[in-house]
Structure 1
């Protein structure tokens, strides 16, 4: 479960935000009410009621297959793009990683790079299948692996964390990886000086 979202004051309940976020941040997939209830740790009847409201509002489409009700983001809605952007900012990788990374000792800076950062910067493309994270500092690799696993559970996507030292980050020299990362959009999660 996600920490308290900044979007929550606009929504009726935390469950509604989590349901919308899961559906809109995985628009390529249809989910049954049963799957969503299990993932969101809620009852099927509660998820079904929320889904009824979202379908009625034109934000979610449904398909019936026998007894199974499948839900998917309705990307034809005029609100779809803006809603997906707001949900990505409040429930997506940046929000999840901003909760998980700052408490880890040795994280001086952290950035999302790759396809998630490119989508945030406005580059067109399909929903990213994974999240690439650059951590600057001397954080323990096992601690970062724990963060990656926790983030994967919350996001439903693979999270790849690459760590570099502060010295390497400040003077990348001829490191082709860092040259490539710096040449593309970066989305800051933890910036130098953000830590208490």
Structure 2
């Protein structure tokens, strides 16, 4: 996990470390195997084992063995848990919260975050994001999408701007908004089916 600190909140060693902590602290009741965490964070298992060991030694994570498997979770309650959860939610949590609130809604084909937050998450330097732009592709109620976005907004404390787009419009090559989104950094929260791309 030796990479430069993430532009969203460079107090972490790497974006992978921040992703690991976000995954665990935004789901404090859930335990993950080391293999599952390595896959979700996108790092080799040995790298994740070292990082989890350091964080467990510091009292930030808790672990236990079940047979041959090692299970890891956030150390909640813990000395840093509340503050760390708040920091992680604000800086790295938008895609986790959007997944919880929007991605599983009936009629959703794909969900992506774009704009300044996605740019910072992907490593581009720049000012702190002042809002979260969310593309929702599918056929569903605009009011339901806005209600879900308001729930995410309430948890993040910054505006969440959903754009609802029909599947057919996303496939139109000549649409200026589609061109703009496709040309910019995007964080897919729910991938489109392959035949849609």
| Cα contact 2:136–2:164 (8 A) shared by 1 | yes
- How big is each residue's C-alpha offset from its partner over 1:31-80, in whole Å with a ceiling of 9 and x where there is no partner? xxxxxxxxxxxxxxxxxxxxxxxxxxxxxxxxxxxxxxxxxxxxxxxxxx
Decide whether aligned partners of structure 1 residues 124 and 25 sit closer, same or farther in structure 2, where only a CA change above 3 A counts.
Answer: farther
TM-score (norm 2): 0.58
Structure 1 stretches of 5 or more lacking a match? 27-83
| Cα contact 2:132–2:159 (8 A) shared by 1 | yes
Cα distance between partner residues in 2 of 1:111 and 1:12: 30
Structure 2 stretches of 5 or more lacking a match? 1-25, 38-60, 62-71
Deviation of residue 162 (structure 1)? 0.2
- How big is each residue's C-alpha offset from its partner over 1:127-156, in whole Å with a ceiling of 9 and x where there is no partner? 201100001111210110111111011111
| Cα contact 2:102–2:149 (8 A) shared by 1 | no
Decide whether aligned partners of structure 1 residues 100 and 14 sit closer, same or farther in structure 2, where only a CA change above 3 A counts.
Answer: farther
| Cα contact 1:3–1:99 (8 A) shared by 2 | no
1:20 maps to 84
My pick for the range that moved more, 140-149 or 3-12, is 3-12
Deviation of residue 179 (structure 1)? 1.1
1:151 maps to 152
Deviation of residue 177 (structure 1)? 1.4
TM-score (norm 1): 0.58
Cα distance between partner residues in 2 of 1:94 and 1:11: 19
Q: Does 1:191 align with 2:191?
A: yes
